[in-house]
Chain A
């Protein structure tokens, strides 16, 4: 069975022709009912991938791909009207700052009702009833009262629940969640994650979950894709990624997520930052920050050529000369 969402060799760039792309040859597939998480630090291209699927890239972005298909529909070639029928109805999205995602001039009830009236064609009255149902469905107490509230009267957690209610109103087949819990505090985060997990099971929808936090992702995702500097560096099941990470970047991320400490007691951080990778045109992009280069004595190959995404027998793929080398000698 083909994947529900297929992204094939997606490249996105800004500015002048020949400028280093923000997304470089990204290929991903999300199977029906699966939760795929994309993990990486800021600037790695996670959100760009999500926005490409929605075709909502900022002005001036240039998109090239072998194809983006959702349920067989070619998104890359689709016009605005086709896209608007897919957005919100079949593919929904959650965002990072839920309070800013609500229009300050309209009540919560009215905003949640909008997609209902638009897609399900409900009357004003019926939509209002359905809104109350939806709100109580996402665990909002006193939904009648909340429906009359404005965005600035809500807490971040409630606002994200409202956004979830809105996103799920059309019973979408795919939910794209772009760091939906980043702006929330930890207790609320857990609740929102559970809510997403519950709803996913209820509706049988696929989820593309974007996060910089492996800890958050590990409880929810079936598979994890790790991105670095616009490239996918490793893909595997959650188990594979967490138990046997192949790429040194993934290993560093896991180390960060466990709050590992250095010998002198300071918190472990990955040295350098992702911006250094932009200028690298050949060779591995992670090399300047890579802890493995020295010990593996692979300087020459890492410098000369970017490693391909290569897989082990169990389906896990990664992009590192050191692991390719180890596998070959094993």
Chain B
């Protein structure tokens, strides 16, 4: 199969729905589902009946503005979200009204303007199909140009061409570390082993982060396509997706997508009539945050306790069952298909000097527009929070934004104008992490926030190395005393010392970064700690 054959196939799939001129798109991702999108979809199907054959109700992925869910968009099949008529907070009782106004002016009562900055200021690469296509439909994905990256790689490029393209793109790992993806792939590709593995890390454990879940629920084929391109480039024929068991919808959609891709010859043996074979298997996590760490994740796939081991050897050399293994996160794989399709130079033109492309962020906390956004690297925090996020509700003042989950830190208002990329966040004492952003207003106590994250790290510590196991407990008990205004100045000094020791001596990322929330709140909000001292 070559690109022309794929284009024919896409045309054929589009022709099936030729008579449809309007789509009523209902979000079927988890957030809208939990606010009742299922019954809304049923009500719309009932209300539509069979009288309008040119109109179709379709379940689609995440449209981003989760706080206004369930969301319903009315649009022509080729129209994007910004061109659609979007309705918010829809209930089943609204179905008749929505169907009734299909031909007229939008229903004012539920209308959610799509020219507002939340939609207009985004740039979508990873989420290009989220909210447009039916995540359970293989044909839907191919119809919008899906699998063109894979077919281009297989039919026109050698594995080293693929590696070169990914290296040119400047893509860096989206799981948090920001390791150059091209370099990682090339290292695994160079290994002479017969058997290699590709792993997709979908163990999104950061509380307050839901980017990977939304990608898997909205566009699962994109992740599979990225993994297949990676497997071709490094010479692997077996891949795993390690996904949290807490995401049942994402797991189900992944299973469906893998089954359909396999049935259509895009996975399995002799993919697209070439010599390339790939089996993809889904493995469920069982609720251990540490399994986001790559060596712990591999232990878990092997059926063991998810405990990390020292590196080197790195997984690229000796990973799953001792074989060379490539591990990337969901969002990293989701960037691959467009890079191969459009070229590495195209991707490298987006973003900042050292951080290319876009980043998906999950906005949550005390912010008006809670949801999922994608912006070019380098977009300022102020733009993200005040313009796209709509600022703080209820007339309260902004205090801090927390990025990077339990491994990250809090950024105060004086640094809001900084452009977000891997390096700028590091200089502020926090990190990109996987992309969760929790906004806090003046009512949040920073000591309390630090205690919250330390409690998280304490309970999630796997217990293998002493600095993390004992250090997080000791730091938590000091923070607990401080939060209850029972701490002393000596406690504060001891806490600082502990932070340094745990950071320097822990075995894996969990322990090494556990002190970050404490250090960053101490750096920017020291007065709050001082105010709580009992011997002040």
Partners in one complex: no
